[in-house]
Amino acid sequence: PFDKVCYIGCGVTTGIGAVINTAKVEPGAKAIVFGLGGIGLNVLQGLRLAGADMIIGVDINNDRKAWGERFGMTHFVNPKEIGKDLVPYLVDMTKSGADQIGGADYTFDCTGNVTVMRQALEACHRGWGQSVVIGVAPAGAEIATRPFQLVTGRTWKGTAFGGARGRTDVPKIVDWYMQGKIQIDPMITHV
């Protein structure tokens, strides 16, 4: 149905592609998605499809919690409600018995806010964490972090159209939709 699959032309492919093509997320990964709008929800779907275990959604709008859960989110954080600095809070959430350092294997910025882009990088696991910038910042905006964040092994990368190849990847995503592997219909709130 063209009125549904047209969304694959941008939002679906960008979000899912950032996970599958750009980050190459593997099963069992821990991930954090900053911003649960149209792109963020599709990043969640991509993470579920890739087999991520812990999928944390971060948004200042509590209405996004139910949406996130519908698309694969396992935990929700509203930065305005935690009462402390966001990055250490997220790093603590991702700690486990064998891993007392904490930090996500993958983070995704879907906000376009340069402060959030920095938080996403710094919430990555040192040694191997990858942070993918998807959100488009205002013209002339710049991102900054301490070099220590990168020298300790984190990777900061960007993506356009989720790194998808239009002729081969878009038909594959259409197939996933037709097979019920991904959802599009619930995202269309009105026509």
Q: What are 76's strand-pairing partners?
A: 57
Residues in the chain: 191
CA 71/CA 19 separation, integer angstroms: 14
> What phi and psi values does residue 55 have, to the nearest 5 degrees?
-125, 105
pLDDT of 38-70, one tens digit each? 999 999 999 999 999 999 999 999 999 999 999
pTM of the model: 0.95
pLDDT of 64-98, one tens digit each? 999 999 999 999 999 999 989 999 999 999 998 88
